Amino acid sequence: MERDASVVVRAPEGISEEKIQQAVEARKLWLFQKINHEQKYPPTRQRKEFVSGETIIYLGRNYRLEVTEHAVEGVQFRSRFVISRQNQPQAAKLFRGWYIERAHERIPSRAKYFAEAMGVRFNRLLISDLKVRWGSCTPRANLNFNWRIMRAPANVIDYLVVHELAHLLEPNHTSRYWNIVAVQVPHFERAKAWLREHGGFLEVDF
């Protein structure tokens, strides 16, 4: 099941479509319960209006936004976010670009750090606008990460990075896979719980 509650069925090569359909039918009730679980797939939140006093999440914390009459280039961030009133109509685009820049600054360095610790190598790392995933690892050892994860706490970002790197050692979510993750992120269950509770906030586009 993906972030948008869509269902993806993966089966070994050679399995007939009839058997796949039978397997899906057998778990129909379970799938229905999962898809309609409010905590796992919370209702869509309202989009930002980008007005002074509004809060914007970054690295798991909410920061206030100030819309100033002064000229400000793009988005400024110190202890709060600041944009100029002149740029207010383009605020969504500016913040999106700001998050993507932060992702390029942070995620590759964390991926390199954990890859070295795990004794693996990846090829390319892309910051993308993934629609249904936080991250992915391709068969060619390319990593893709959704820029929206920069809204999550640092430990959650680390968990998502390790989650994809671990697939270079174990393709499936076996007990061995989760042991690999646990060595690098001992409290990864906390990160998973945070995503279950707050993942909906990360998904809302500006």
Q: What is the pTM of this model?
A: 0.76
26/126 same-domain check: no
Q: Which residues does the chain have with pLDDT short of 70?
A: 1-14, 16-46, 131-132
114 and 173 share one domain: yes
- Please indicate, yes or no, if residue 49 is contained in any of the structural domains: no
**Cα–Cα dist 167/172, whole Å:** 7
What is the number of other CB atoms lying within 10 angstroms of the CB of residue 83? 23
Its domain, for residue 5, covers 1-41
**Are the CB atoms for 135 and 149 separated by under 8 Å?**
yes
Could you read off the pLDDT of 81-131 as tens digits, one per residue? 999 999 999 999 999 999 999 999 999 999 999 999 999 999 999 998 876
Q: State the Cα–Cα distance between residues 162 and 148, nearest whole angstrom.
A: 17
Residue 46 lies in a domain: no
DSSP strand pairing (76-77 vs 81-84): antiparallel
Whether residue 103 is found in the same domain as residue 73: yes
Hey, what's the torsion of the CAs at 43, 27, 171, 2, to 10 degrees? -20
Q: Are residues 78 and 168 both part of a single domain? A: yes
Q: Distance (Å, rounded) from C-alpha 134 to C-alpha 23?
A: 27
Q: Are residues 10 and 92 in the same domain?
A: no
Domain count, the chain: 2
pLDDT digit string, tens, across residues 106-116: 999 999 999 99
48 lies in some domain:
no
